[in-house]
Structure 1
């Protein structure tokens, strides 16, 4: 498990999927704002379920996000579009409604930076988010991401085109938090 100060990023478990479907994916507005493809209803047991983990998809590393205090499932996180030649990837996350506004986003972004830069040896991480997603913009900037541009009217969301902000962070510019990002040693 990767650890931040408030949350941990761990492998997705089969019993996470129905919870994530009900509390995160089935929220049509949030799902439409978070996905590049149009929202559509998908059963938790569908083979097309976007929350299923394909262990052979090397360019996409999904995590389930849990609170460190108590282990409650609070969302998802991923590095996606991993390009090993150019040593770059994209950062994404989704928090369940009850977990929003608690500072988890910044913690998740920090843990994903650790994973990308330290564990994977990447050189660049990138975030694309809707221009009105102030929570994600804050989480990115708190972790050192710089705004690199605006993609005008690039996202079709629930009947309108919205701007996206492009943010980037290079390994050389990253300043890691002091949190232990790896699993604690087992107690004997």
Structure 2
């Protein structure tokens, strides 16, 4: 498990999937705000669930996020679009509603940076998030990410196009947070 100050990132367990599906995937608004694909209902236990992990996939590394204090599942995190030639990747996360507003997002971003820069040897990490996702913007900027641009009207979300903010962090700009 990769450890931050508040959370750990570990492999996805089978019993994580129904919880994550119910609280993150099955809500069309939450899904539409987090994914670039349209929401569609997925039968519980389906082999088509986007929450299932393909351990052979090297360009997409999903994690389950757990509280260090008690091991409670608080969400999901991912390093995706891993480009080994250009040594870059994208990061993303989703927190269960009960886990939001507790500083977990900032810690998840920090742990994903540690994984991307130290474990994977990447040079650049990138985040794309909706312009009104203030929690993610704060989490990214607290970890040193810089706003690089706005992708105007680029995300189709529940019947309207919304702006996305593009943030980047280079390895030489990164300041690792030491666990407390």
Aligned twin of 1:59: 59
Q: 1:46 offset after TM fit, Å?
A: 1.5
Q: 1:44 offset after TM fit, Å?
A: 2.8
Aligned twin of 1:42: 42
Instruction: Provide the rounded CA distance (Å) in 1 between the counterparts of 2:168 and 2:150.
Output: 12
Q: 1:179 offset after TM fit, Å?
A: 1.2
1:16 corresponds to 2:16: yes
What SS is found at the alignment partner of 1:113?
A: helix
Instruction: Provide the rounded CA distance (Å) in 2 between the counterparts of 1:152 and 1:20.
Output: 30
Structure 1 runs of 4+ aligned residues shifted over 6 Å read: none
State the number of aligned residues: 180
What SS is found at the alignment partner of 2:98?
A: helix
Mapping 1:107-122, distance limit 5 Å: 107-122=107-122
Instruction: Provide the rounded CA distance (Å) in 1 between the counterparts of 2:43 and 2:169.
Output: 36
Structure 2 residue runs of 5 or longer lacking an equivalent are none
Instruction: Provide the rounded CA distance (Å) in 2 between the counterparts of 1:106 and 1:44.
Output: 30
Q: 1:146 offset after TM fit, Å?
A: 0.2
Q: 1:131 offset after TM fit, Å?
A: 0.2
Instruction: Provide the rounded CA distance (Å) in 1 between the counterparts of 2:140 and 2:47.
Output: 32
TM-score after normalising by structure 1: 0.94
Instruction: Provide the rounded CA distance (Å) in 1 between the counterparts of 2:175 and 2:119.
Output: 15
Instruction: Provide the rounded CA distance (Å) in 1 between the counterparts of 2:40 and 2:113.
Output: 31
Q: 1:24 offset after TM fit, Å?
A: 1.4
Q: 1:48 offset after TM fit, Å?
A: 1.5
1:134 corresponds to 2:149: no
Q: Deviations over 1:115-159 (max 9, x none)?
A: 000000000000000000000000000000000000000000000
Instruction: Provide the rounded CA distance (Å) in 1 between the counterparts of 2:11 and 2:136.
Output: 22
Instruction: Provide the rounded CA distance (Å) in 1 between the counterparts of 2:111 and 2:103.
Output: 13
Aligned twin of 1:167: 167
Aligned twin of 1:6: 6
Aligned twin of 1:84: 84
C-alpha RMSD over aligned residues: 0.8
Instruction: Provide the rounded CA distance (Å) in 1 between the counterparts of 2:179 and 2:41.
Output: 38
Instruction: Provide the rounded CA distance (Å) in 2 between the counterparts of 1:165 and 1:44.
Output: 33
Structure 1 residue runs of 5 or longer lacking an equivalent are 181-188
